[in-house]
């Protein structure tokens, strides 16, 4: 692993730490991770940086029981596709939850955690994972609040 | 009349964990087999393409074009490798197809090859995982099986697909491979064994997943007007099509359908001037059993959501209306990633020639192969005919 993660994580740090992606002013689509070109509008697109609110719903999930070396200590862990309230999806671990309670449709919010170590001598990467909102607020959110234009 | 591209020779090595052979040994074996099968003098071959995903990481060797030409004693002909993750083999076939179609080449050797067992299982899995979006999926802990598990979970949620359904492709494909002397696994496996095998990423289990395999496959291809000179039983490529989709699975509107498969199949059928009902035998990319279920739907054998039901009804068995993976598929024939796309074409050519022995689909006239890269970001479809 070149530079053991230093440069490859550092240059993405805004996106990984704050869930910063972009939003196309032309078509209103949100993108995470940030894209260089809006695939809907191409040259007519007008991408602006956008920091996601970090709230979403589990779209699909699994429990990883065979993992690469860098994740072995976390096994078994839940990983999911989270549909953010703005309408785009990302892939992240779900933490602070019992495996058997995870379900499609579960409301989750972003939290800041250690992601992995780049081998023994490499850096420790931090970034987003998600946890059930219920663990934080104490009650189930019925549905996702309608997203307002920024 | 259009000048089609013909397949005049096919060859394979026995797939498996080939401890006694290195990349060179079995790649050469498959290539020689294809050349002998074609009856083509080596001096008539004027170009070579090899499909390979990651020899650099698996074995430390790249530059496989020159590597294979040198070892095969094929002189100074142009050669290069092509990479499209698990669709590298299909991409190699398509490259040769286009080269011959353009008139630039006359007779070409196509190889697909991968040596996976020289690294440990974890490293093999890491290497496969880079077929998805490493920075935004892999780095966050999504293994390759985890991504297919997302599809499986969502398919179960949206369409009521069951764990029995997930086990059925494995049972069918192992039964087929029992009659394939080239296959890695030639013994049937009962459904309860599949359903009790160890979990990789819920709900996907070890026996839902294609194995780590070493192996190579080869084809000799030429233009239609030359084919008669070399072969009494040429098989023709009626269509070759390819589509792309987002690299990351989370960027797709739906993860229970592969748009690249839907469109490339549609283009291919149109190009071949055929309808799906005209196709007699299929090889569909079953790196995970949910993949076969989704592809069964996306090529149009079953309605969306009813891929499991099609398996239940036996439609995709040999002897059914639309036999899928008579070779045993990736699950049982084995999945040396770069070789798979070529091995699919080898099987279908044998089926059309009537040389598939005990796994023969009777009277097969038209055949279709779907070779997938990553989680469906690349789809390559070939239609063959007699």
Q: What ipTM did this prediction achieve?
A: 0.95
Average pLDDT over residues B55-82: 96
- pLDDT > 70: percent of chain B: 100
Three-class DSSP category at B349: helix
Say yes or no: B148 and B176 in one domain.
yes
Residues constituting chain B: 386
Q: Are B182 and A113 in contact (CB under 8 A)?
A: no
Q: Which residues contact B309 (CB under 8 A, 6 or more apart)?
A: B165, B302
Q: Which of B121, B132, B133, B146 to mutate to test the interface with A (most CBs of A within 10 A)?
A: B146
Say yes or no: B78 and B153 in one domain.
no
Residue A1, pLDDT > 50, answer: no
Q: Are B177 and B186 in contact (CB under 8 A)?
A: yes
Q: Are B382 and B251 in contact (CB under 8 A)?
A: no
Q: Residue A141 has what pLDDT? A: 64
Say yes or no: B70 and B176 in one domain.
no
DSSP state of A63: E
Pairing between β-strand A47-51 and β-strand A20-24 as defined by DSSP bridges:
antiparallel
Q: Which of B221, B236, B251 is the last residue of a domain?
A: B236
- pLDDT > 90: percent of chain A: 75
DSSP state of B337: H
Q: How many domains does chain B have?
A: 2
B124 within a domain of the structure (yes/no): no
Pull the structure tokens for residue B355.
């040389």
A12 inside 8 A of chain B by CB? yes
Average pLDDT over residues B138-161: 97
B125 within a domain of the structure (yes/no): no
CA–CA min distance B94, chain A (Å): 26
Chain B residues 274-313 within an 8 A CB cutoff of chain A: none
Residue-number span of the structural domain to which B266 is assigned? 131-209+238-385
Pick from B125, B135, B248: CB nearest A68: B125
**Cα gap B89→B339, rounded to integer Å:** 5
| CATH number, domain with residue B40 | 3.40.47.10
Say yes or no: B35 and B58 in one domain.
yes
Long-range CB pairs of A31-39, under 8 A, 24+ apart, other chains included: A31/A88, A32/A84, A32/A88, A32/A90, A33/A90, A33/B135, A33/B136
B127 to chain A: nearest residue by CA?
A68
B24 within a domain of the structure (yes/no): yes
Write out the CATH class of domain A2-18+54-137: mainly beta
Active-site entry in B155, B165, B174, B335: B335
**Cα gap A48→A41, rounded to integer Å:** 13
- Show residues of chain A in contact with B200, CB under 8 Å: 65-66
Three-class DSSP category at B51: strand
Long-range CB pairs of A144-148, under 8 A, 24+ apart, other chains included: A144/A55, A144/A56, A144/A57, A144/A85, A144/A107, A145/A85, A147/A85, A147/A86, A147/A87
Mean pLDDT of all residues belonging to chain B: 97
**Cα gap A136→A142, rounded to integer Å:** 15
Pull the structure tokens for residue B187.
């013994």
| Residue B86 a catalytic site member | yes
């Amino acid at each position: 692993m070149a530079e053991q993660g230093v440069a490859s994580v550092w240059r993405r740090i805004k996106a990984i730490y704050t869930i910063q992606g972009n939003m196309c002013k032309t078509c209103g689509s949100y993108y995470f991770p940030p894209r260089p070109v809006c695939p809907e509008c191409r040259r007519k697109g007008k991408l602006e940086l956008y920091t996601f609110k970090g709230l979403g719903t589990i779209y699909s999930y699994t429990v990883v029981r065979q993992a690469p070396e860098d994740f072995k200590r976390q096994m078994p862990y839940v990983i999911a596709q989270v549909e953010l309230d703005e309408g785009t999806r990302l892939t992240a671990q779900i933490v602070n939850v019992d495996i058997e309670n995870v379900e499609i449709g579960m409301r989750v919010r972003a939290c800041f955690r250690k992601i992995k170590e780049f081998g023994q001598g490499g850096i420790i990467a931090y970034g987003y994972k998600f946890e059930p909102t219920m663990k934080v607020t104490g009650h189930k959110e019925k549905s996702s609040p309608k997203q307002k234009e920024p | 009349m259009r000048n089609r591209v013909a397949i005049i020779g096919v060859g394979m090595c026995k797939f498996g964990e080939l401890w006694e052979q290195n990349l060179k040994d079995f790649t050469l074996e498959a290539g020689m087999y294809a050349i002998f099968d074609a009856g083509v003098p080596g001096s008539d071959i004027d170009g070579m393409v090899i499909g390979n995903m990651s020899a650099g990481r698996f074995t430390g060797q790249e530059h496989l074009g020159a590597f294979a030409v040198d070892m095969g004693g094929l002189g100074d002909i142009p050669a290069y490798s092509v990479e499209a993750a698990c669709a590298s083999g299909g991409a190699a076939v398509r490259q040769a197809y286009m080269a011959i179609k353009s008139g630039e080449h006359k007779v070409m050797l196509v190889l697909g090859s991968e040596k996976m067992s020289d690294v440990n299982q974890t490293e093999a899995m890491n290497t496969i995982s880079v077929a998805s979006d490493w920075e935004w999926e892999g780095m966050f802990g999504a293994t390759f099986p985890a991504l297919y598990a997302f599809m499986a979970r969502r398919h179960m949620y949206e369409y009521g697909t069951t764990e029995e359904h997930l086990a059925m492709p494995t049972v069918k494909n192992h039964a087929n491979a029992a009659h394939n002397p080239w296959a890695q696994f030639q013994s049937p496996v009962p459904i309860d064994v599949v359903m009790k095998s160890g979990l990789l990423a819920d709900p996907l289990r070890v026996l839902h997943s294609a194995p780590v395999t070493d192996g190579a496959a080869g084809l000799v291809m030429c233009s239609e007007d030359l084919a008669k000179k070399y072969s009494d039983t040429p098989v023709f490529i009626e269509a070759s099509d390819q589509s792309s989709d987002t690299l990351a699975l989370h960027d797709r509107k739906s993860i229970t359908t592969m748009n690249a498969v839907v469109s490339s199949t549609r283009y291919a059928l149109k190009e071949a001037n055929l309808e799906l009902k005209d196709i007699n035998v299929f090889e569909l990319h079953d790196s995970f059993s949910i993949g076969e279920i989704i592809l069964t739907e996306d090529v149009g054998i079953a309605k969306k959501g009813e891929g499991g039901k099609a398996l239940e009804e036996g439609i995709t068995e040999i002897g059914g209306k639309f036999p899928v993976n008579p070779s045993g598929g990736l699950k049982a024939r084995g999945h040396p990633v770069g070789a798979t796309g070529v091995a699919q074409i080898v099987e279908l050519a044998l089926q059309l020639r009537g040389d598939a022995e005990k796994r023969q689909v009777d009277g097969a006239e038209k055949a279709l192969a779907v070779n997938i890269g990553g989680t469906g970001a690349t789809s390559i479809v070939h239609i063959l005919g007699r």
